[in-house]
Amino acid sequence: MEMLQSYDDPIQWQINRRFRIQNLLFDIHKFISANSRLPKAHDDHWHAITRIVHAAFSLWRSAFLTDVKRKRAQFYKDMVELIDKVLKHNAISFADDHRMCELSVDYYNYNARYRLERMMKGPYVNLAGLQVIDEMLEQNVEASSLDQRMLWDLYFIALAQSFDLFQRRWAAARRTAARRRRRRKPASAIAAGSKARSLRRR
């Protein structure tokens, strides 16, 4: 399984991880923009790509929020402030997320993990990154007590592996669909197509 470079400086770590997740988001954007048939795809494909997008967004957000100390007193303070601000202002901004990062990093990392947990079926179940998450679930590991940067790395690797497999499965499905269309094509249409290609070569 791929290992991401470690950094002692939390800001340097965040800069590197933002670079990694934004590059992955660019690849996802390029893929979905080039495949306009996705909304008509089988549910297995559609639900998988939506979970991939949700997890990628959550990891992009949490990459800014990982410089935390995991102190309950600060976590408690952030909980009080968050609910107070929601009640009084009915809005939470990125600046609020960043200031209350002891609380908010859990939210975004948990959200990414939930989407990845939902990927654990069919061909995805054998991915090494998802198996690590599955082991954490089986052992009932409380993620909020762990190093959030370590968790981010685990979730990112699982996400990258899932997207890579999704692209390969999508390409295989498109090839299969194309073969089926060719088999259904009348012999006269196939002959006409071959003749047209022959004339173009001349």
Q: Mean pLDDT score of the chain, rounded to an integer? A: 90
Per-residue pLDDT tens over the stretch 53-96: 999 999 999 999 999 988 899 999 999 999 999 999 999 999 99
Residue 4 belongs to a domain:
no
Residue 165 belongs to a domain:
yes
Residue 3 pLDDT more than 70?
yes
The mean per-residue pLDDT over the stretch 98-102 comes to 95
Residue 186 belongs to a domain:
yes
Residue 170 belongs to a domain:
yes
Its domain, for residue 60, covers 10-201
Residue 201 pLDDT more than 80?
no
The mean per-residue pLDDT over the stretch 124-142 comes to 93
Residue 134 belongs to a domain:
yes
Residue 168 pLDDT more than 60?
yes
Encode the chain in three state secondary structure: CCCCCCCCCHHHHHHHHHHHHHHHHHHHHHHHHHCCCHHHCCHHHHHHHHHHHHHHHHHHHHCCCCCCCCCHHHHHHHHHHHHHHHHHHCCCCHHHHHHCHHHHHHHHHHHHHHHHHCCCCHHHHHCHHHHHHHHHHHCCCCHHHCCHHHHHHHHHHHHHHHHHHHHHHHHHHHHHHHHHHHHHCCHHHHHHHHHHHHHHHC
Start-to-end Cα distance in the chain: 51
For residue 180, the model assigns a pLDDT of 81
For residue 50, the model assigns a pLDDT of 97
For residue 202, the model assigns a pLDDT of 55
Residue 85 belongs to a domain:
yes
140 Ramachandran zone, left/alpha/beta (phi>0; psi -120 to 50):
left
How far, in Å, CA of 77 to CA of 190, rounded?
71
How many independent structural domains does the chain possess? 1
Per-residue pLDDT tens over the stretch 29-56: 999 999 999 999 999 999 999 999 999 9
Residue 190 pLDDT more than 70?
no
Residue 3 belongs to a domain:
no
* Token pair belonging to 7: 């950094």
